[in-house]
Structure formats: structure tokens, C-alpha cells
Amino acid sequence: MTALTAFSRVRRHLPPYLALTGKLAGRGAVEQAARASRVELSDGRFALDFGSYAVTLLGHRPPAVVEAVRRQLDTMPTSTRSLVSPATAAAAAAVVEYLGGRLSRVYFGLGGADAVEAVIKLAWLASGRRRIVAVEGAFHGKSLGALSLTHNQRFRAGLVDVLAPVVHVAAGDPDAVAREVAKGDVAALVFEPVQGENGVQELDPDVLRTWCAAAAEHGTFVVADEIQCGLRRCGDRSVALAAGLPVDAVLLGKPLGGGVVPLSAAVCNERLYAPLVADPMVHTATFSGHPLACAALPAALESIELLAGRGRTIARVFGAGLAQIHTARPDLVRAVRGRGLLWGLELPSPHITGRLIVGLAQAGLIVSPCMSRSTTLRLLPPLVADDSDLSEALQILAAVVGTFTTTGGS
């Protein structure tokens, strides 16, 4: 298929805006192939992928994951759903072990919002309560249950009347959860230890610890949404568990399928998961625990661990490079925030952010916006980035930033 045909079909059958932005970013070309840190475009150019909304932590087509999926594809790519799938069983055991074993039950979804939806329902059923406490700036997805937890009013507009009862508390208020649970009927506290879509904002672990204690005192479930920040993206297997937070569930997704197949998981303790033990039909989906996706999980986790040390090196080098760019252009790059392989550059306006994202893509560096904070550009280097990849990415970023003015021109 030619690029012109692809753009035409997007305009006709999908949101037309996607064709416009994609055509600008690709300078008229479309993505054609990819491997490791690089994407090949239809005109023969290559671009470094430091975006992909945090999915490609292992880069594109990681060999061990591709091979695991291929083996499953060649034997049994789907499930009868009446018999047990060994691939699903192995994946559940692997992710439980990966997180240390205390959270011993798993629900598999495809996208991150699936895991959020499942854990909301489980918290309601297991507690008999209805209210949920989330955090200002939170992003948990856009399906109706997940959207109830998402804070950005742009995504909630016109739907508030049908959303679940959720209160959003200030991230820096240590007493906020205690006040809410004291009012009663709070089923769960849900938070992201690092808010990726909100401009890469790390929540204070001491505040989270106080919140968890208040929730536990009132029998309220605690859920750490690490769909973006977990799995070594921010250094630890689980940010919440590494901080010693007594959570009842950790939600994982994005790179969980190795960047090859879609997969998410709600990894829960026995108390929160009890409704599914009592009645396994209370929350089901045709493709939950899909064998192809589950075949990818053990290989993805093993590959992530093999590269964990490299991740620490990348974080140090990349963070230092971004700091230099901030020092050189503080008028444009107002702040640099980040942890591990998740970084945000704070810019003066949404217009400048959009222009910079397109300019970087045209120069050969793919990055991501932050959906809940339009003044932040997000950079997500993969674990497979080598020294030349990092150097090239920082050079492109410095060069494009250097052409911009604070009024948005380039």
C-alpha cells in the first residue's frame, strides 16, 4: 500500500485529524517496518522511536518475544475457553512471581483500561461500597469506568452524569484520603506512582504511604496503576512495591506483551480478587488471557530483567543530556522531569509542544505528547537503545530545540 492510499483511507474511515498529523510528522511517509529502536518509513528514511506511548520498552520486534509468540501461533493461537490454556497459566504464574508472590491472583486484559475496569468492579463487589478516591491529574483510561478515575475534563465532558462516583484529591495533601474514607462508602484508592500523562509527575512516596495507611484503617482497597511506570520503565519492577506500599493490586500493561501483542494485567491479593474466586463468570472477556498475548509475557519479563542494568545507564546518560538542553534553552525548556526511562520536558505552551513534537518526528525522533498536560513533551527511551541511539536522540533534540522561539516558530 502506498502512503497516499493509507492517508486517503484514514481520512475516509478513521478520524481525519490522524491523517493530517501523521502526514506532517512523516513528511508524507508512513511507518513501514521497525526493529529495536528504529522505525523505517515508506520513503526509506529511519526514525528513532522514543515514543510509542510507552509500549516499546523492549524496542520493536524483540527477538525472544517474537519467537515465543511465533511458537504459540504455530501450535494454538486462540483458546477454546472451555479447556485450560497452558500459555495463560504460565503467564499468570510468571507475573505473580515477578512481583514477589504476595499478590497471587491475576486478571488479564488487552489494554490498560481493561485492567482498570476489572479492578474497579472487584473493589465494588468485594467491599460492597461504591465511592472511589483517585488523584488530581490522574489518567487511567477512557472507557467509562476508567474514565471515572481519569481527571482531565476534556475527556469527561458530556459524560459526567454516567460516570462512577469518584472524588479526586490533591496529590500533595497527606490528609486527603483520611478525610474521604472517614465519610464512608469508599471502595478503593487508585493512584499512579508516577503520572505519565500528567506531565511525568512523581507522587511523593511519603504522602502515598500516609494515604495507604488511612485506606487500610477503613478497609479500603489500594490499587497502584503502573500500566505506564511499572516493568522497569521507572527503574523498579513495581514502583509501589519497591517503596514498600501495602497495595492490594498492581496494574500492568503497555510493554507487558513485549511490544508485540496487546496485554494488560490486574495482579491482586486474595481479598480483592475474592469475587472472581466465588464466581469466575462475574467478569469475563472473550480475549482475556489470550494465548498469543500470554505466550509473550514470560519472554518479555525475562528480556526486561536482562536489560535492567542497561536501563539504569540509559536513565543516567539521558537525564544528564536533557539537563544540558534545559540549561542551554531555559526559555523554551522550562523544566525537565523524569525517572528511569520516562521523561518530560515542560514547554511554554501547547502550541509549542505540538510544533516541537512534529519537528522532532520530521528530524528523525519520535516522541509522545502528554494527553492530560498539553505543555509537556514525553520521551520514552527503550531499554535496547545503545550509546549511538542516545547520542543521536539528544543531538536531534538539541538541534530542533535550538531552532525554536518561545513564540512557537521554528
Helices 308-328 and 291-306, axial angle in degrees (round to 10): 70
User: Which grid cell sits at 49?
Assistant: 522511536
- The beta-strand segments (E) located in 233-328 are 249-252, 264-268
Range list for CATH 3.40.640.10 in the chain: 63-306
Chain region(s) in the chain for CATH 3.90.1150.10: 3-58+307-403
CA atoms of 109 and 88, how far apart (whole Å): 12
Collapsing DSSP to helix, strand or coil, 115 comes out as helix
Q: What is the C-alpha separation between 311 and 104, in angstroms, rounded?
A: 27
Which phi and psi (to 5°) does residue 237 adopt? -60, -45
Q: What are phi and psi of 378, to 5 degrees?
A: -110, 135
Q: Please name the residues in contact with 296: beta carbons below 8 A apart, sequence gap of 6 or more.
A: 65, 68, 69, 257, 258, 260, 261, 263
Hey, how many other C-beta atoms are within 10 angstroms of the C-beta on 213? 14
Which stretches in the chain have pLDDT values below 70? 407-410
**Pairing relationship of beta strands 186-191 and 221-225 according to DSSP bridges:** parallel
pLDDT value, residue 1: 83
User: How much is the pLDDT for 405?
Assistant: 78
Instruction: Tell me how far CA of residue 147 lies from CA of 140, 151, 163, 166, 276, in angstroms.
Output: 7, 8, 7, 10, 23
Write down the pTM of the prediction.
0.96
Helix axes 86-98, 291-306, angle to 10 degrees: 30
CA distance linking residue 233 with residue 315, whole number of Å: 10
Alpha-carbon distance of 113 to 249, in angstroms, equals 15
Predicted pLDDT of residue 404: 86
* 3 state SS of 202: strand
Edge to edge, the sheet with strand 365-366 lists 31-35, 38-41, 46-49, 365-366
Task: Give the contacts of 117 (CB within 8 A, at least 6 positions apart).
Answer: 109, 141, 143, 145, 146
- β-strand partners of 191: 224
Strand pairing report for 201-202 and 194-195: antiparallel
> What's CA 296's distance to the chain center, in Å?
18
- CATH class in words for 63-306: alpha beta
Distance CA(253)–CA(305), nearest Å, equals: 16
- According to CATH, the topology of domain 3-58+307-403 is Aspartate Aminotransferase, domain 1 (3.90.1150)
Share in percent of the chain as helix, strand, coil (round to 5): 45, 15, 40
The span from the CA of 165 to the CA of 151, in Å, is 13
All cell numbers assigned to 408 = 512557537
